[in-house]
Amino acid sequence: EAQLLESGGGLVQPGGSLRLSCAASGFIFDRSAMAWVRQAPGKGLEWVSLVLPGGGDTFYADSVKGRFAISRDNSKGTVSLQMNSLRAEDTAVYYCAKASGGTFPQSRNFDSWGQGTLVTVSS
């Protein structure tokens, strides 16, 4: 059974940076795309970013493009989200999600989720 454990959340000032990490276990990591999805307080789900198994192909929501960077380390089974130039509207719980495979459409079908880590952007 896949297990995903996020870390790195916290309180940061507007304009600051934060790096989230997700440690994966229980599946063959380098065969699955990985993604980040966020949920602002009291709001719905918003896809943020996705990385394919090789790490070279990355995709972003327009709301974070140019500010966030997703990466993965297949040797360690981790996926990270570097968040720069943070804004108040980035405040959310950030979930790490595993895709069911590495090629379309499985690479975009999320079958497991972590418990989330809270990011609060406030002065």
Q: Which residues bind other proteins (CB under 8 A)?
A: 35, 37, 44-47, 50, 59, 61-62, 95, 100, 105, 108-116
**Can you give the three-state secondary structure of the chain, one letter per residue?**
CCEEEEECCEEECCCCCEEEEEEEECCCHHHCCEEEEEECCCCCEEEEEEECCCCCCEEECCCCCCCEEEEEECCCCEEEEEECCCCHHHCEEEEEEEECCCCCCHHHCEEEECCCEEEEECC
Least distance in angstroms from the C-beta of 17 to other proteins: 23
Least distance in angstroms from the C-beta of 71 to other proteins: 18
Rank residues 49 and 78 by Cβ distance to other proteins and give the closer one. 49
Least distance in angstroms from the C-beta of 95 to other proteins: 6
Rank residues 72 and 75 by Cβ distance to other proteins and give the closer one. 72
Rank residues 30 and 111 by Cβ distance to other proteins and give the closer one. 111
